[in-house]
Structure 1
Amino acid sequence: MKLATQPGVTTSAIARELGVERSVLSAWIRKVEEGRYESSPGKPLKSDSQAENERLRRELARVKMERDILLISQ
């Protein structure tokens, strides 16, 4: 991931250097950015509590938005 985020470095060049298709490398980078990459098989990158915190934050944001919409429409 560090190599892919360096300025002036292209995904194509990195993929060529690693001997993988650019689309495969792009998918790996996207998974890491989304927190879905498993660093070791069977062990998720995020702990259950981190995933639950993120889910609750998204739900809270949605509920606040719904509340604000209801307050505006009154």
Structure 2
Amino acid sequence: MSARTMNGQEISEEQIDQWVTEAEAGYDPAMLRRRGRPTRASSPSRAITVRLTDTELEGIEKYARQHDLTRSEAIRSAIQVLVS
């Protein structure tokens, strides 16, 4: 039987048995790590796809760099101006 590994480290049968025991006892949901992207607002948000020209994208990226924002934050900032 081949060795089991996690992140390049060999996992012992004792470690697997310990994890099984913990899982069978149950986990406190508050202690479990949340997965996925963090929420950005109290209401749900959706991802959309938008096509931009190279010039438009360069402008957004320049704005983002100047204001220490991610590209997504810069786009949301521009949209917020429109919807306010």
Q: TM-score, normalised by structure 1?
A: 0.33
Structure scoring higher RCO (CA < 8 A, sep ≥ 6) equals: 1
Higher alpha-carbon Rg: 2
Higher helix share: 1
Q: TM-score, normalised by structure 2?
A: 0.29
Higher strand share: 2
